[in-house]
């Protein structure tokens, strides 16, 4: 287990202008019932993914609310993360033959991490399958204390049977299991109380705060993107579920009608995703040297401010996922007043109101058609952008999600 992840201190009051007085007061009310409680968050990486992004904000705000919150990241080996990546896909429905060797690799690392887990917390929230068996290790050694919640950020409705048979026994030991939406809950789940809590975005983080136009132009110039030509952007891991090659195919169809169109595909290469480099190379090959398709990542110096600038410079945001737990980038795009074309999958359906704040699509051809439609109609883009921003303000900002978590912990 790593040392505690350092987080930059944050003030809840800084979110009041964006979220509104009512949301902040509800959050403070929920926190008052847990004043002085100790909460530990456990995840698989401190950077590069949506979970890490959420926790940097939420751990800081919990402390500001008078709750002692810490965050630790499990330590793993390349073979461990290869197994857990396969498990991640399998729990979303991919075929996987779960083997004794996989079980050995997985449990060995969970046992090592459990041995280093500190005691004395009232609540422990464990994120996703990578550390899920840590609780089992502690219980078997008689070291369990406090209430435990397993936060599943993926769609568990139809998992690979062999993988789920193994994980079901570990999940059953938790006091609570938290899912993004009711459709993601595993039918017949035994043991924990179930809760649904959609994720959220931090409106005043570097990725979402307002940027001056000259800052946006400087970022585009640094990466060779022309601000005078239309821009479509997908920001996601290079991952088969995000369909990066399908995005390029949709761009190519749209490019036939709009030859000035540029496509930005931006990713963060995460420590717990050993497939990222492979799918980046696959996408690069599919790009086939097209200078108007920009493949960028944190390895190119792209950080939160750059992502913010790319989204604000875009005419259309794309998130053409085949499977999707939630897709924070959808809410980010909507918050910036941009219409979003998203795959008709998972948590994207919670965020996009079809024909109101964007479009849900099931194919390359439909995606391309929606891109062309929006790029040719600035008035529709503006209407959808305004609607999407208001939807995010009401439903998908940090105070609402944090309030949901606090009320769940109080219920436990």
Query: Distance between CA 225 and CA 222 in Å, rounded?
Result: 8
Would you call 396 helix, strand, or coil by DSSP? Answer: coil
Report field, pTM of the whole predicted structure over 0.95: no
Q: In the predicted model, what is the mean pLDDT of residues 23-45? A: 97
Q: What tokens does 10 get?
A: 């944050």
Q: In the predicted model, what is the mean pLDDT of residues 145-152? A: 97
Query: Distance between CA 229 and CA 287 in Å, rounded?
Result: 19
**127 CA to centre of own chain:** 12
User: CA geometry: angle at 26 spanning 23 and 32, to 5°?
Assistant: 140
Query: Distance between CA 303 and CA 78 in Å, rounded?
Result: 25
Query: Distance between CA 378 and CA 278 in Å, rounded?
Result: 37
Contact 134, 150 (CB under 8 A): no
For 19-28, 73-82, 265-274, 309-318, which range has the lowest pLDDT when averaged over its residues? 265-274
Query: Distance between CA 170 and CA 327 in Å, rounded?
Result: 26
Q: In the predicted model, what is the mean pLDDT of residues 76-97? A: 93
Q: State pLDDT tens for residues 342-362.
A: 999 999 999 999 999 999 999
Residue 273 is predicted with a pLDDT of 67
Query: Distance between CA 230 and CA 255 in Å, rounded?
Result: 10
Q: What tokens does 412 get?
A: 């436990």
Distance in angstroms between the alpha carbons of the first and the last residue of the chain: 26
Q: State pLDDT tens for residues 297-315.
A: 988 999 999 999 999 999 9
1 pLDDT band, cuts 50/70/90, is confident
Q: In the predicted model, what is the mean pLDDT of residues 311-335? A: 96
Please give the share of the chain, as a percent, with pLDDT higher than 70.
99
Query: Distance between CA 302 and CA 63 in Å, rounded?
Result: 29
- Tell me how far CA of residue 405 lies from CA of 30, 167, 196, 373, 411, in angstroms: 9, 23, 10, 40, 10
Provide the 10 A C-beta neighbour count for residue 36.
Answer: 8
Residue 255's nearest CA partner among 220, 291, 298, 283 is 291
Q: State pLDDT tens for residues 243-295.
A: 999 999 999 999 999 999 999 999 977 655 667 788 999 999 999 999 999 99
Q: What tokens does 42 get?
A: 């456990």
- In order, the DSSP letters of 324-387 are -S--HHHHHHHHTT--EEEES-TTHHHH--BTTTEEEESSHHHHHHHHHHHHT-HHHHHHHHHH
Structural domains present in the chain:
12-200+398-411 (3.40.50.2000), 213-395 (3.40.50.2000)
49 pLDDT band, cuts 50/70/90, is confident
């Amino acid at each position: 287990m790593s040392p505690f992840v350092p987080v930059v201190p944050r003030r809840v009051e800084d979110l009041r202008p964006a979220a509104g007085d009512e949301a902040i007061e509800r959050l403070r009310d929920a926190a008052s019932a847990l004043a002085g409680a100790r909460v530990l968050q456990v995840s698989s990486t401190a950077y590069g993914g949506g979970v890490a992004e959420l926790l940097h904000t939420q751990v800081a705000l919990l402390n500001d609310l008078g709750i002692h919150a810490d965050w630790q990241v499990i330590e793993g080996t390349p073979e461990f993360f290869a197994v857990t990546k396969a498990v991640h896909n399998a729990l979303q429905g991919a075929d996987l033959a779960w083997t004794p060797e996989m079980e050995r690799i997985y449990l060995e690392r969970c046992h090592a991490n459990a041995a280093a887990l500190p005691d004395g917390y009232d609540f422990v929230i464990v994120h996703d399958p990578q550390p899920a068996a840590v609780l089992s290790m502690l219980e078997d050694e008689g070291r369990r204390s406090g209430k435990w919640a397993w936060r599943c950020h993926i769609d568990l409705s139809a998992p690979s049977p062999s993988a789920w048979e193994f994980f079901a026994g570990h999940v059953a030991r938790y006091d609570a299991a938290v899912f993004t939406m009711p459709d993601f809950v595993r039918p017949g789940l035994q043991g924990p109380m179930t809760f649904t809590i959609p994720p959220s975005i931090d409106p005043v983080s570097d990725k979402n705060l307002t940027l001056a136009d000259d800052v946006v132009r400087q970022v585009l110039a640094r990466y060779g993107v022309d601000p005078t030509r239309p821009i479509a952007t997908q920001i996601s891991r290079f991952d088969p579920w995000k369909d990066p090659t399908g995005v390029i195919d949709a761009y190519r169809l749209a490019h036939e009608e709009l030859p000035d169109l540029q496509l930005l595909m931006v990713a963060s290469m995460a420590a717990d995703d050993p497939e990222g480099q492979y799918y980046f190379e696959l996408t690069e090959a599919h790009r086939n040297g097209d200078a108007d398709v920009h493949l960028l990542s944190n390895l190119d110096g792209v950080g939160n401010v750059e992502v913010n600038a790319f989204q604000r410079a875009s005419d259309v945001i794309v998130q053409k996922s085949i499977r999707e737990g939630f897709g924070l980038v959808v809410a980010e795009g909507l918050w910036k007043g941009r219409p979003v074309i998203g795959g008709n999958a998972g948590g994207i359906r919670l965020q996009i109101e079809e024909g109101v704040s964007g479009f849900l699509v099931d194919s390359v051809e439909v995606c391309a058609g929606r891109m062309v439609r929006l790029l040719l109609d600035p008035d529709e883009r503006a209407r959808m952008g305004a609607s999407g921003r208001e939807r995010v303000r009401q439903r998908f900002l940090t105070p609402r999600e944090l309030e949901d978590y606090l009320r769940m912990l109080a219920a436990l």
